[in-house]
Structure formats: C-alpha cells, structure tokens
Structure 1
Amino acid sequence: MKRILPAIAVVFGIVQLLPVAEAQLPQPVRMGCGDMTFDTVPGWGLGEDGKSQIGATHGAVVIDKAGRIYTSAQLGVFVFSPDGKIVNRFLGDEYSNIHDMEIRNEADGEFIYGARNKNAEGIKFSAETGDIVLKLPFPKESGLDLKKFNPTAITVAPNGDIILSDGYASNHIFKFDKNGKYLMHFGSKGNGLKEFNTAHGMTLDTRYDPPRLLICDRNHTPPGFEKPRGRLLHYSLDGEFIDVVMTGLGMPTSATVQGDFVSVPDLNGRLVILDKTNVIIAVLGHNPDSSKGTNFGIKQEDWIEGIFSGTHGSYWDKDGNLYVQDWNVSGRIMKLVKVKS
C-alpha cells in the first residue's frame, strides 16, 4: 500500500509537519485589472482533508451584516466564516435546492429569501436560526394555468414586496406583498424585446433612484444566432420594461450590486464586472476551454485555480472581496480578495 507522508516545513529553524492538503494547495492566481484586480484564496472553504464540504452546487451566495457567507447547495445552505470555516448549516428537505438567494436586514432580524426551482416555491427564513417564516407557492389567484412552476430568482423591493421569477418554466415574473399576497405578474417566454428566454437571475439595481429590477435573460437567442447571447434588462418594480442594459453576455446567471458596480457570473465560465455606466471593466476566471464551460461534471481533482467552469452565483463583502460559486458536481465556492491599489 502506498504511504502518503505529510509535508515538512522549516520555520525559524523548527521542523513542522504540514497537513497533506495544505502542502498540495496551488499558489494564488491574480485576475482582473485596475481597481477590479483580485487574488484567489486557494483551498478556501475546503475541509481539513482538502475536500469540498458542501456537495453539488447549483445555487447562490449571500453575506450577512456580521460577514458570514451563506451558499446554497443541493443539500441545503452552508454558512462560512470569512476564513472559510463552516460555522452553521441549514440542511434537509426544507432548505435543499435553493437556486437563488437574497438577504435582507429587517426590523426583527436578518432574513434570507430563496427561490427553489425543484420544489416549486419561494421561501423566507431567518439567517440566524433557519426558521422558515414564509412560503410562496404558485399563486392560483393569478388565473394562469401553468403545467409547472420552477422559480429561479428572487429579490425584494424597498417596501418589502417580493419578486419571484419562474425562469425555468413560464418565464413570468410574479410580485407578492411582504406577507405573500399575490399582486401581479409580467413577462412571457420568447426571444422578443420584452420576452424572456430563461429569466434566470434577478436583483434590485440600487444604482438608480428609484431602484429597478436588473434581470438576467440567460438564453436570449436573437434571429440568426445558434447559441445564446444572454442579456441584462431593466424593468421597473411594477413590471414596466425600461431598457436593454447589455447583450452578447453568453449565459448570465445572476447579478449582484455593490455601490456603482455589478458582478455578473456567466455559465460559460467567467465573471464580468460592470461599472455605473454598464460598461464591462473586468473579466475574471475566463475559461478558454469551451468544453469546460457550462460543465457541471468538472470534479474537484480537475479544478484549475483561477479558472471557472460553470459560474452561477456571486456576492461582494464590505471590503469589496468577491465570493463566487460554480454550478459543479463536487461543490465549488471561491474567495477572491480585492487587491488594494
């Protein structure tokens, strides 16, 4: 039997044994440019054995006011400290397969809103205890006759209204009040100007006054094109079309705003950052191998530091660092530390 020995390090003349996983970690990779330059943190979030602890990922990332990082996986929601240690878990059928999350500080605590595509509902639960306080099933009051309901994105208006996108089915976007009462819906499936071909991601764009919806039309395919040329769209909180923000983005999966900047993961294996004028100012983790982009099956032993494969969710912390999740069979979440100029 082959014996694996721990690595040896000499620090100030003292011989130390290092865990094998630590010895094998790759070096940090620098990516981006200008004010949006980042270094990867090799091994962030992995267990002491060097393996992913969260299982297959097809979800999102959010951060609470204390700086704890929440990421959703098929098994449920895992909570990390900024240094990559798991500090809490919300696991089981009620928390599984949360495709998108939004976190909100409210009068009675911090709450996470989730869109559960496989479970046909939106939910709201305490970020501290995991107690579920609201469920949003398909609203029969809408009068729609849908064969299935498959929510992919959720966000919350300043007044507490909840917006839930049925992105894997009808592509209608539903609006509820803070108590879950159905208010209205808008949008439909298609490749037209005001239609959605997979309204996959959505957030509140606080760069504008009043805030508006920023929607990822992931699979938008104009006439004459064979592959998606995903776009970002602006809508009012009342469902009125405002403008096409940007097109030709590949397959944008979600969007997160911090200050004047927006991070947009692309399922092809990259993340783009837009400035306040909606110009791309940085591209992170670009995967040059088209066979590795949009590929759920990249196992951990085949991950490449600084190269993404199925970029699905992202979130900024207060210092401008980014946490990025890949759609991935082994469960990949990465920390990118912003380089100070």
Structure 2
Amino acid sequence: MNYNRRNFLKNTGMTAAVGVLATAKQPALAHTKPDDLTIGHNNFRYKVDKGWAKLTVNRTPLFNCHEMIQDQKGRLIMVGDHVANNILIFDKSGKLLDSWTLAFPGAHGLSLSKEGSEDFLIITDCGWYQDRNGQWNRQAGQVIKTDTNGRLMFAIGHPRTIGIYKDDEPFMPTETAVAPNGDIYVADGYGSDYIIQYDSKGKYIRHFGGKHNANPEHNLVNAHGVSIDLRDPRNPKVVCSSREENCFKFFTLEGKYLYKVDLPGMYVCRAVFHQENLYAGVCWSKDKEGKQNWGDSGFVTILDKNNKVVSNPGGNAPVYQNGVLLPTLATSNPIFNHGHDVCIDEDENIYVCQWNANHTAPIKLTRTV
C-alpha cells in the first residue's frame, strides 16, 4: 500500500516536531578549503576535505549526519536526524541537489534497494532523539520504505504486533540491509539486538542474534549495523556489527552463525563493501588505559578480502602480532568526531558521516594512493 507523505506526517503526528526542532539554533558550517593533510596507511591514503558539502546552514540545518549511500544515478543520499532535513541528496562535487523529510527525530539508518532501474530507500528511525533543549528522549522505532523522492511505499511495524517480541522487549532499529532477492534484514541495535529478516514486501521470515543464545558467540551486543557481504557470490553472508564487543559477526542468509572478526578497541558501525574490501566508520575507540574514549576519537577502518585491517584513516596504523590485531587506540589529534558511516564512490573516494560532530556536514576523503 502506498502512502502520501503529507498524509503520513499528519497521521503520525510528526508535523509539530518539524516546527519545534527546526528552530533550534545551528552553528555556522566551516567552508574551509581542502586540507593539505593526507591520512591512512599502506595503499589506502586520502586527502581530507572538510569543506566538501556546499550547504547554507540557515536553509539546510543539520543535526547528526548518520549514513550515506550512492544511487544508480551516482547521487550521494544522506540521512540525518534534523526533522526539517532527514534526507539530503548531493552530487559528487558536494552540491546539494535536493532535500526532504519524514520528520523523524531519530532518523538513523539508510539502505538502498535496487529494483531494476529504480532505487528505493529503507530508512530507520531508531527512537532515540534530542529535543531543542538537548535532552534525550526515547520512543519505539520504525522502518520505512520510500522512493528517492520520499513517497512512502510501506512501513514495517513493531515486532510485538506479530508475536515475535515480548512486551518488555524494546524495538529501536538502527540499520537495514537488502539481500539480492529483496529480503530486508533489520538490526535492532538500540533495542533487543535481534536481526529480523523480512521478505521484500515486509513479511516476517525469521529472527536471530539477540542476547539469549546458548552459545554466547551467537549473541549480539549493540547490533548497530547489518550488511550483506557478496565478495564471494557463491556464499553470501549477513555481517553484523556487535559494537560493544568490538567485532563483526558473520552469519548465513538464514541466520546461522559462521565466525567473527575481532577489531580490538574499535566501536564499529556497519560494514560497507566496495570491490574486495570492507570499510566501516569507527564511532569511537579506547584510550591507552583500555577505557572508552567518548571524545573526538572516531576514524575509518578498512579491511582487505581476508578481513585483515590494512588502513585506519584518521586513526593509528594497524599492528598485528603473531597474526592477532592489537588494540587500535585513539589518536592524539583526531580528524573526525565519531565516524558513523562511510560511502565509497566509483573512484574509491570515501565520504564520512559523523555523529555528535557539532552539526558538521560529511567529510570527503579523496584517495591519493
């Protein structure tokens, strides 16, 4: 069933939130020239451009820039949680082409569903949001499918409505992934840590992960991201970030646990695949004492086809000892504020979305090596 976006906003009672939160004071964006700084390691080095996005802050206010994908037209589509601008669409030069909103105060996840020549967006509202006074609020999350113009196609309801969640299990989804057959995997990363699998129409198939498996290796702890790994076309996998455990866990498409890749010290967001490599934003890391560094400690990590870390742009170089990755510590002069997601274009440039980054736009990393 299709929905008109105007009616959706009216029916969900979210129109008032636009008027309230859009008036929050926004700091000016820094329109700096590209930095001379080059970051990264081995054959993955990049020039930093903090002034890539061409935005007028009074017309296009930002809050947190959560995730970005590239559509089949080559446009870069970003989701953020400012209720006046949930979706921003850029070209590769950083020019803003379009923007629209669903008035989601917790807009967090964005995935692309390619259906022939058409593109559709799967958007998650995680349920956590800040009001104009900076206070955090919590509500049930939701998952919405739209076209790239914001026309609503369908919504996936709370899992409790179909009997797969108990009354005391919260649903606060953070991310989705779309398999080649159209199945949608929803990561309940701020709720009950399940991965819930639906078909392309939103019909429930199964769920896995969570916190109560007999083998704790199969559990997920802050299942912040979910992706589909097609690097081996004969053996596609579901990849989940178990962020509090500093690792990625790999499952079959049917939810059978396979193995994990440990990333000591790294609080990783979703895995993003480009050719044979895995890229991810690292929202923060641990300090030298092994404690969480909640400050400006984010960076990007890049893994090769064997899931070995080869570069940490904005972070310290990866070091392996007897085949085991040593903890990656925060750098003393961070480039990023909480790297939340990455998007890689056809030229292998990286666009980094940041959380809790003083309302700044995405940063472009232009590959030099």
- Could you say which residue in structure 2 is the equivalent of 1:298? none
Question: Out of 288, 294, 317, which is 2:345 matched to?
Answer: 317
Alignment of 1:290-301 (within 5 A): none
Residue 84 of structure 1: how far off its partner (Å): 0.8
Residue 124 of structure 1: how far off its partner (Å): 1.2
Residue 97 of structure 1: how far off its partner (Å): 2.8
Q: Distance in 2 between matches of 1:43 and 1:53?
A: 15
Q: Higher Cα Rg: structure 1 or 2?
A: 1
Residue 264 of structure 1: how far off its partner (Å): 1.4
- Could you say which residue in structure 2 is the equivalent of 1:196? 220
Q: Distance in 2 between matches of 1:334 and 1:217?
A: 25
- Could you say which residue in structure 2 is the equivalent of 1:60? 67
C-alpha RMSD over aligned residues: 2.5
Q: Say how many residue pairs are matched.
A: 293
Structure 1 residue 81 corresponds to structure 2 residue 91: yes
Residue 33 of structure 1: how far off its partner (Å): 2.7
Q: What is the SS of the residue equivalent to 1:59? A: strand
| TM-score with structure 2 setting the length | 0.74
| TM-score with structure 1 setting the length | 0.79
- Could you say which residue in structure 1 is the equivalent of 2:266? 250
Structure 1 residue 145 corresponds to structure 2 residue 166: yes
Q: Distance in 1 between matches of 2:283 and 2:185?
A: 23
Q: What is the SS of the residue equivalent to 2:310? A: strand
- Could you say which residue in structure 2 is the equivalent of 1:122? 143
Residue 90 of structure 1: how far off its partner (Å): 1.7
Question: Out of 347, 359, 362, which is 1:330 matched to?
Answer: 359
CA deviation map 1:37-94 (0-9, x unaligned) = 1111231114367x9944111521111122211111112011111111111112242x
List alignment gaps of at least 5 residues for structure 2: 1-29, 128-139, 285-297, 318-329
Structure 1 residue 308 corresponds to structure 2 residue 336: yes
Match of 1:245, as an amino acid? V
Residue 108 of structure 1: how far off its partner (Å): 5.9
- Could you say which residue in structure 2 is the equivalent of 1:11? none
**Partners of 1:73 and 1:331 within 8 A in 2:** no
Structure 1 residue 102 corresponds to structure 2 residue 111: yes
List alignment gaps of at least 5 residues for structure 1: 1-20, 221-229, 294-303
Cα pair distance change 1:332/1:167, threshold 3 Å: same
**Partners of 1:28 and 1:42 within 8 A in 2:** no
Residue 246 of structure 1: how far off its partner (Å): 2.4
Question: Out of 89, 97, 100, which is 1:90 matched to?
Answer: 100
Cα pair distance change 1:205/1:43, threshold 3 Å: same
Q: What is the SS of the residue equivalent to 2:266? A: coil
Q: What is the SS of the residue equivalent to 1:219? A: helix
**Partners of 1:287 and 1:309 within 8 A in 2:** no
Runs of 4+ aligned residues of structure 1 deviating over 3 Å after TM superposition are 51-54
Question: Out of 15, 23, 35, which is 2:43 matched to?
Answer: 35
Residue 28 of structure 1: how far off its partner (Å): 3.2
Residue 322 of structure 1: how far off its partner (Å): 0.6
Alignment of 1:160-199 (within 5 A): 160-189=182-211, 192-199=216-223
Question: Out of 72, 77, 94, which is 1:70 matched to?
Answer: 77
Residue 283 of structure 1: how far off its partner (Å): 0.6
Identity rate, percent: 25
Q: Distance in 2 between matches of 1:192 and 1:332?
A: 38
Structure 1 residue 213 corresponds to structure 2 residue 238: yes
